[in-house]
Amino acid sequence: ACKVAPFLVETETDALQYVRFCKYNVWAAAERVCLYWHERLELFGADRAFRPMTISGDGALSKDDILSLRAGYPVLLPKNMKTGQQVVFCDRRQHLKTANTEARLRGIYYLVTHIAQQNGDSKKETTAGKKGPEEEDDAPRSCPQTDGIQFFVQLIMRPRIETFDDDFVKKLYWLAANVFPIKLNLHILNCVPNTIPAVEETEDDANQEMTKLERKRRQREANTNRKKRFAIQDILSSYLQHIVDNELEDNVEVHIERHPGEILDELRDLGLEMNGIPQCLGGSWKWEQFHSWCRTQARAQKKGAVARELLDDSCQPDKSLGMPADMDDATRKAVKIPNDVSSPAAKAKFDDGASGITAKQRQQRINNAIHSRRKRERRRQELVDLQQNAEKLSNENKRLKVEHTKLSDSLRAAREMVQSYALDGTN
């Protein structure tokens, strides 16, 4: 990875993140970084593993991976206003049926990369220059490596009891325990379906005359409730076993809703606001908010890619820009390209009098480059459409020529038959 994409290694696996997570054990942090890239290579493949972790379509995530991520399994919720921790929510009812386990794990990789870049030293903005679903002004500052994130999982849900993807859960918690530089504070949410308690025959019922249908009905209710309890116990124990196997049981809390609104009250006690709790749990947060955030991220990443390319060219030593041709390596490395060139920090950084180019002029150049690329893209698409139409018409012309030849042959054969019949008649 260091040879193929050293810039990605430096930006997406910041050494300080892993050192902080490993409590400043440098060797453990180095092993974790190596394992991160090893798993990333296996999961993404050699063609995408060393691309930027973006959802613009040109990065590590493919279009199918992006669709799986936008489906909302998992999603980022607004930060906890009480602790400042990032909140992640998993509801497997949102996952795409067509998405496989690997696609969901690649979406997890993207969210982990995004979350890991947040820290408690500075308030981080999204690349779009706007606050995403995880950004709040009044939230305390929290570090994902030391304070961790709140990871909520909707395990048991109403109205039907469904099993979980065992392979996905097993791999997810293994990555959390051995690869990702993020500490998980797990909360397992269980909304037990409304069931009728088992009915046992009492002495009064024995003294009364009960019909056979009534006895069978009560027996069926008791058997159904017993099966539901066993299913819930089996799902919960299997899920917690994966957590225990990866030694993550120290930060696990199980929530069980025995009456409506109980889990909502517990989430409010943990510091979540109503606008940060999904509607399926009684809050006001909607899935469309995450979809909007994904679209904003994609647009910002596309714009940032063009801006970085243009700035990369403009930051080369050039006498016309007032930069010396004999710039040393230290000075060259000191020139860093921000993710969002429209932010005030980026404008101030690149607005230097020595270069002779102001931030406004530089921004105008970037906007012109973006406009030119979009124009070229439209023209390219128009050319592709014309080529497709030309090919379609050419195929149609060939088909008509073949049909014309067949009809001509049939007509000639018919004429020959008519002439032969006429000759036979005269004879």
Residue 92 above 60 pLDDT? Answer: yes
Burial of 227 (0-12, 13-18, 19+ CB in 10 A): exposed
- pLDDT band, very low/low/confident/very high, at 128 (cuts 50, 70, 90): very low
- 166: which 2 tokens? 């065992």
Strand pairing class (87-91; 75-77): antiparallel
Which residue did the predictor score with more confidence, 58 or 170?
170
Place of tokens 């054990």: 25
Neighbour-count burial for 180-191, b at 16+ CB within 10 Å, e otherwise: bbbbbbbbbbbb
Among the ranges given (43-57, 223-237, 329-343, 404-418), the one the predictor scored with the smallest mean pLDDT: 329-343
The pLDDT value recorded for residue 335 is 40
Triad 307, 309, 312: Cα angle to 5°: 105
Per-residue pLDDT band for 349 (boundaries 50, 70, 90) equals very low
Would the pLDDT of 426 be above 50?
yes
Are 170 and 141 spatial neighbours (Cβ–Cβ below 8 Å)?
no
Token representation of residue 300:
């910002």
| Residues 24, 275: Cα–Cα separation, whole Å | 37
- Please tell me the distance from the alpha carbon of residue 28 to that of residue 32, in angstroms, as a whole number: 6
Tell me the C-alpha distance between 213 and 366, whole Å. Answer: 79
Task: Flag whether pLDDT at 115 surpasses 90.
Answer: yes
- Summarised one tens digit per residue, pLDDT across range 153-199 is 999 887 777 888 899 999 999 999 999 999 999 999 998 876 544 44
Rounded CA separation 287/71 (Å):
9
pLDDT band at 219 (very low <50, low <70, confident <90, very high): confident
pLDDT at position 309 is 64
Q: What is the dihedral of CA 97, 99, 104, 110, to 10 degrees?
A: -120
Residue 362: the pLDDT is: 77
At residue 389, does pLDDT exceed 90? no
pLDDT, the chain, mean: 79
Q: Which amino acid is at 91?
A: D
Higher pLDDT, 121 or 51: 51
Q: How far apart are CA 175 and CA 179, in angstroms?
A: 5
